[in-house]
Chains A and B, each alone.
Chain A
Amino acid sequence: MKLISCTRGERLKRTTMAAEHNNNALHNGTGLHSDLARKFNKDEDRVDWHDETLWWIRQKRDKITHGIPNWEALREAGSQIKHHTLSNLNEYLVQFEEQCQKNGVTVHWAADAQEHNEIVLSILKKHSVDKIVKSKSMLTEECHLNDYLQHNGVEVVDTDLGERIVQLAGEPPSHIVLPCIHWKKEEIGELFHQFMGTPKGNADPQFLTHAARLNLREKFLTRKIAMTGVNFAVAETGEMVVCTNEGNADMGAHLADVHIACMGMEKLIAKREHLGVFLRLLTRSATGQPITTYSSHFKKPREGQEMHVVIVDNGRSVQLGRESFRNSLKCIRCGACMNTCPVYRRSGGHSYHNAIAGPIGSILAPNLDMKKYADLPFASTLCGSCSNVCPVKIDIHDQLYKWRQEIVKNGYSPKTKTIAMKAMAFTLSSPTRYQIAGKAGRFVLKNMPFAVNNKFNPWYNEREMPAVPKESFTEWYKKNKGGK
């Protein structure tokens, strides 16, 4: 939220005119993670607050998972079911399609984001609909569906409260489960005052939620087409499971004449009984709740209703073929890796300039565009906390490390880093050069620190350097033990 170089107040005034433009700027990722994080870090109190809020959610996750004696076995089962499904994905996709058709659901296939968006628009056009409601779907964020539909004259209302808040502000979500985790209630009060006419200065969450409920109820009652995402799609039965706490997916789908569900093809699981494993894992990992309020199983359209599912590839088949990175397709989008990540917590979701932020976003994004997202695998300390909390045991930090190597190999690493690394390799490969460099370094640091500790040296930006030793270990050894 510190992404744009103006205050929130100014931005609020601007949003009505420039929401779309704003959205594009954020979505299209102008800037590196480190630059965007630096902007977020300017407001230290806010960073602390962001950090603490997410850590609190991480602790809630710990508390509830520690109460499940077989938690590790459950994670392992989740991981293996996903592995099994990915290893038979071709057959399960065909089975899922057959079951959907039997259930009276129309199946669409989209090779990429563009095709996905075109399919959705064609369904809207067929029904002459230009206003829709949409519940949470990270896939539609990935495909920039809202922008596309708006350009084609369609009004999209995001109905998840957090998503509605960021939508009104002209921003993308900063977290996959908690879209407006970076917004303070006073700012939301101001936003609602402007867009929904709530009294100025009222920042009571209960009051604001109720105002949004009334405002969105009218949309649910009048929109003819509702879109939803998909949490799990079952090959065996052709059903799609959507999990929400608010009930917004259900309010949309059960009141609309047409329900369009959009899913990345990795959402598939083989059998219905596998839902038992994933519904136990998902919400405990995400928010520390035992289960979401609603776990809705959509199988057939209701009488007189039309139901569509759009199955999207958009780079997933490529990722499936990358042995080192295919595990990332096991992700069930719980957000636990973000809540625990020391970098995410202190840099904010928008610093990742990708629909999916945090550690998991950083291993998914380079598959889509290695050059554009070359910075993301470096936005990590490789501490491994993400891999430890992942409910399907994705080796996230290992993949981050492997992406770094791919990125350097392909020539996409940042220039300053490349030069520094080459200089280091040149120095370290010769003992003489190393000793000379060490001496020179100690001399410079001691006698003219300003030569290195200045704004031209990015190494010093966030670091305080230790005191300079008088001599190297080799020099000390020669003096004390030499000849003995």
Chain B
Amino acid sequence: MSSRDKILNAVKAAQPDKQPLPDLSAIPLKFDDAVAKFIEVLSTIGATVKRLPKDRFQSELMDDIGEGKNVVNTISEFVLDFASPDKTVAPQTYDNLDYSIIPGQLGVAENGAIWVTDTEFQIRALPFICEHLILVISAETIVHNMHEAYDKIGIDNPGFGAFIAGPSKTADIEQSLVLGAHGPRFMTAYVLE
């Protein structure tokens, strides 16, 4: 018998009587102002958050990044003078990337996380390999909690998706918080209205 069948048989013989799933409707957490809560939480976990009108985003972003930086932009909605992701090269090519600009599908107020998928950023390494990650979301996409987030995302997501909440960090050395472990050392979220 294969290990697969051996394991499945052993599990079947050992598992307890069927238990029902719980009702999750009683759990959700709401805030008076989800956008304000989102900004508050994300700011406390090491990110810079900027809330601004959509029409000011482009000029603000250009000012923030400045001249002479190595940038990849994955937002198709804005015509920015930056390179688009190039899937024909190895992802290692992006090792010295200064900025990745990536659109978020939604933000979560309770924990400051932003949901991103590789439908948008195409090269999976992009949100992780850069020095400074820029995530851009629309204020109206901010939900209160993770239950609402999964309701909105549904189950048909592409090959890879992630909740990202702040810059890469570690506190493995004597519990001292250090930003920039293996991923971006900085993260800025633009919340557009």
Which residues of A line the B interface, CB within 8 A? 53, 56-57, 68-70, 73-74, 76-77, 80-81, 83-84, 86-90, 93-94, 103, 109-111, 115, 159-162, 165, 178-181, 183-185, 188, 205-206, 208-210, 213, 216-217, 220-221, 236-237, 239, 245-248, 250-251, 253-255, 265, 270, 272-273, 275-277, 279-280, 287, 289-303, 311, 313, 317-318, 320-321, 323, 326
Contacts and interface: CB of A to CB of B under 8 A. Distances in A.
B65 interface: no
Measured as residues with beta carbon below 8 angstroms from the partner, the interface class of chain B is 35 or more
A280 B146 contact: yes
B128 to A, nearest CB: 5
Contacts of A74: 27
B146 A275 contact: yes
Interface in B58-116: 87, 91-92, 95, 108, 110-113
Nearest to A189: B173
Given A70-B26, A221-B95, A250 B128 contact: yes
Contacts of A185: 173-174, 176
A162 B125 contact: no
Interface of B: 2-4, 6-8, 10-22, 24, 26-29, 41, 45, 87, 91-92, 95, 108, 110-113, 118, 124-125, 127-129, 145-147, 149-151, 153, 155, 157-176, 178, 180-184
A185 B172 CA distance: 10
A272 B150 contact: yes
Given A88-B15, A272-B150, A110 B164 contact: no
Nearest to A319: B14
Contact of A302 (B8, B19, B160): B160
A351 B124 CA distance: 41
Contacts of A111: 3, 6-7
B173 A236 contact: no
A193 B169 CA distance: 22
Nearest to A49: B174
Nearest to B147: A276
Contacts of A255: 91-92, 125, 129
Given A73-B27, A111-B6, A205-B173, A251 B180 contact: no
